[in-house]
Structure 1
Amino acid sequence: MALQIDGIMNEKEGYWYKNNNVSGTGDDAQVPWGRGAIFYPNPISLGTFVTGYLSLPESFWNFKLDRSTVIREQNGKQAKIPLYVTNHYDAQKIKRVVIVWPGKWRDSWRYINMMGNAYLVAQKYPELNVNDGEVYMMSPVFFNQLDELALKDDELRWKDYGWSAGGTARSPEEFKHISSFEVIDHLIEMSLDTSKFPNVEKVVVVGHSMGAQANLRYAILKRPKKYDDRVKYWIGDPGSVIYFDEWRPVMKHNCSDYNSWPYGLNDQSSVPLYNRKRAGNGGAELVKEFNNRVIRFGVALDDNGRGNNHCQSKMQGPNRIARSSQWISHRGDSWPSSHSVDYVPGVSHQDYVMMAYYYSMKFIFSEDDR
């Protein structure tokens, strides 16, 4: 039905999201269905994602910047990842951990703040059974080369947006082999460490926009672990997807590598070293594992922005809603029962609105989610 929307496959269609359809951008307004939940504006950093960040917010309402998390140690040196984490909590009460990917702006402080606001809204719906103090949140900071003044010598740094595709760090020198996906692995394992959180039942990995692209790629490539049945994924409005065959809805664009990572699994050599060995045979083994993961997709019905503007993305459709819808439709009968989709009416490319949508909150925060 979404693919029957007038103009959805028209490259020259005017942007439907030019004006936000729903108030509540995550920066200055609560969603209309907030039921009186307190709304905390997003913190402000010094610098921008274009020029680089000079310093990061240290703390804001119930979150703080933690720069002590060690991802790897080698020859007496450490590789650390800065994290925004829940500040005040009782580890005994934590039942669920939510890990939030940043978006294109690398603004983890903003994304964890929006997720925190969505958590407050979820508590206003008694049927969701979401209780204060039972959710711990964290969001990693993926620095790149522009952020030299903000990062410390022992903190991991990527090139450009390589972190969103499982790329390896570029510094510190001793740890250039560490993938951004290994960082998420580490955070999940830390969440399920009973010495830290003795009563955690579920871990939910969340991403919107570029964070959604990263989360989809991670869910496909993730190394299998015994704890995988305790991990879920929420993926909202990705700018591109990953196909499992050579078909694309728009074949007129001349991209010889359109089926290579991070747009397809045909070329094993293009897959990150993180799990390249298991990406043979067109990624059949990876697809099988991906289909067993519990995943919720959120697609905003008015999000016809271009998003990822690479040639490989254009072959998937002219805009975000078309790309997601074509991919969902093409998978057809191979769509697994563990995957589900919410088409969200009246919403454009609005991160907070998508996170605070009722069924998104239910999946992310509620015990009664599947």
Structure 2
Amino acid sequence: MKIIKTLKNAKGVLLCVPLSIALYGCQQLPPKAVVANADAELDAPVKKVGNQQLLVRGPSGEGVIPVFASGDINAVAPDVTKVFIVIHGTLRNADTYFATGQQILAGAGSLGKGTMMVAPQFLTAPDVNAFSLPARSLAWTQEGWKGGEAAVGPVPLSSFAALDALLEHFADKRRYPALSSVVLMGHSAGAQILQRYAVVGRADPILTRAHIDLRYVVANPSSYLYFSDERPDSQALAGGACPEATKWKYQLKDGPEYVSAQNVKTLESDYAARNVVYLLGEADTDPYKHFIDRSCAGMSQGPYRLARGRAYFDYMKKRHPAHLKQKVVMVPGVGHDNLKMFTSNCGMAVLFGQPTPKTCPVITGAK
């Protein structure tokens, strides 16, 4: 059996250490300089903060998150027919992802007419302090926002609750009377939170009642939420070799309060029926770069992001052979690059609901 051990560095980042045959080629720790540079990059405050705010309410109180948007999100917008919500990566650089969104609209021509681009921002305490933001500004830990954990201040609201609030905001027909579709899109860490939100999020029925179509575009995440102990490497979880892999955020067990308060028995079937597109870069095959999850839980899903995405879709097809409303769209020649992924011909077709070019391999859930 392939066995590995996990250790944490001073910042709590899981590192992969081989004990015998390395799982999926996890052969050595990254050099100390690489780890140090990554830690410094993660800890550095963001360079920009969104210039609009979204109010998030919950049983524990209320707070706000920053938002970049191509229009005033609080104004009545009778001409908005589509909303694209793009979620940033691990560096919390919503400005970069909003710029990607603007390039998407610039290249869309008439397809982009009536589309509002929105980029919410999940900040950490150092971000809030660096910009002297108002006391009600929500802040999460560096890893916490990706998995729906409660904010560390000023009130313990889940990052999933913030996405609920965002979708509920756009479901308001008094403000957006012509809105007919919302696309939630995320790349890398943004795709991590998005894939898990697509499983546990509570706003989907609200949009359905408002006759607003909701599509999830999950691009190159580092890991996925599974519903059982099955993994691509059948030995990875055997004999309790990696107990972390059987818990949140890799499975539903021991999830945050937002998750555990729900009827987890129905979550998988609801997820299988949701319109989810896994947008995968065919060149996203580097097993070390871009903050990829190299814990035993992450490595149990595959050696790199492309393999993990393909394996996860195979898993979902196996579990839902007749009713899987999901598909994989491959982007040839693109690696771990949010701009190239979303502005590719394949990405643009997915985002705007157009026929996928023949150059973009598609794998569907149909038999």
TM-score after normalising by structure 2: 0.76
Task: Quote the Cα distance in structure 1 between the aligned partners of 2:100 and 2:257.
Answer: 32
In structure 1, which of residues 242, 246, 250 is the aligned counterpart of residue 229 of structure 2?
A: 246
Unaligned stretches of 5+ in structure 1? 1-8, 14-47, 58-63, 124-128
Flag the 1:78–1:130 CA change in 2: closer, same or farther, 3 A.
Answer: same
Task: Quote the Cα distance in structure 2 between the aligned partners of 1:346 and 1:353.
Answer: 10
Q: Which moved more, 1:359-368 or 1:342-351?
A: 359-368
What residue number does 2:52 align with?
66
What residue number does 1:104 align with?
90
What residue number does 2:262 align with?
278
What's the % identity of the aligned pairs? Answer: 25
SS at match of 2:84: strand
Task: Quote the Cα distance in structure 1 between the aligned partners of 2:97 and 2:306.
Answer: 22
Q: CA RMSD in A?
A: 2.6
Higher relative contact order (CA 8 A, sep 6+): 1
Q: Does 1:92 align with 2:78?
A: yes
Query: Per-residue deviation at 1:352?
Result: 0.7
Q: Determine if contact 1:130/1:367 at 8 Å carries over to the other structure.
A: no
Task: Quote the Cα distance in structure 2 between the aligned partners of 1:368 and 1:299.
Answer: 17
1:116-174 C-alpha deviation (Å, 9 max, x unpaired): 10121122xxxxx5043x011211111113222123321000012211111111111xx
Q: Does 1:139 align with 2:153?
A: no
In structure 1, which of residues 170, 186, 207 is the aligned counterpart of residue 152 of structure 2?
A: 170
Query: Per-residue deviation at 1:337?
Result: 4.2
Query: Per-residue deviation at 1:363?
Result: 2.6
- Paired AA for residue 351 in structure 2: I
SS at match of 1:92: coil
Task: Quote the Cα distance in structure 1 between the aligned partners of 2:337 and 2:123.
Answer: 23
Q: Does 1:225 align with 2:205?
A: yes
Q: Determine if contact 1:144/1:161 at 8 Å carries over to the other structure.
A: no
Q: Does 1:203 align with 2:182?
A: yes
Task: Quote the Cα distance in structure 2 between the aligned partners of 1:331 and 1:141.
Answer: 30
Flag the 1:200–1:54 CA change in 2: closer, same or farther, 3 A.
Answer: closer
What residue number does 1:53 align with?
45
Q: Which moved more, 1:227-236 or 1:96-105?
A: 227-236
Q: Determine if contact 1:99/1:203 at 8 Å carries over to the other structure.
A: yes
Flag the 1:226–1:91 CA change in 2: closer, same or farther, 3 A.
Answer: closer
Flag the 1:245–1:200 CA change in 2: closer, same or farther, 3 A.
Answer: same
1:156-206 C-alpha deviation (Å, 9 max, x unpaired): 00012211111111111xx22x11111111111111212221110011111
Count of residue pairs brought into register by the alignment = 304
Task: Quote the Cα distance in structure 2 between the aligned partners of 1:12 and 1:255.
Answer: 14
1:192-221 C-alpha deviation (Å, 9 max, x unpaired): 212221110011111001100110000011
1:35-56 C-alpha deviation (Å, 9 max, x unpaired): xxxxxxxxxxxxx853432652
SS at match of 2:335: coil
Flag the 1:199–1:180 CA change in 2: closer, same or farther, 3 A.
Answer: same
Q: Determine if contact 1:55/1:149 at 8 Å carries over to the other structure.
A: no
1:61-83 C-alpha deviation (Å, 9 max, x unpaired): xxx6213x3223899x8511111
Flag the 1:233–1:368 CA change in 2: closer, same or farther, 3 A.
Answer: same
1:274-315 C-alpha deviation (Å, 9 max, x unpaired): 131335xxx431001101111111111111123212220111
In structure 1, which of residues 77, 81, 89 is the aligned counterpart of residue 65 of structure 2?
A: 81
Task: Quote the Cα distance in structure 1 between the aligned partners of 2:121 and 2:317.
Answer: 36
In structure 2, which of residues 214, 219, 225 is the aligned counterpart of residue 236 of structure 1?
A: 219
1:88-136 C-alpha deviation (Å, 9 max, x unpaired): 798221101111111011001111110110121122xxxxx5043x011
In structure 1, which of residues 315, 325, 350 is the aligned counterpart of residue 337 of structure 2?
A: 350
What residue number does 1:20 align with?
none
- Paired AA for residue 11 in structure 1: G
- Paired AA for residue 339 in structure 1: Q
Task: Quote the Cα distance in structure 2 between the aligned partners of 1:210 and 1:293.
Answer: 20
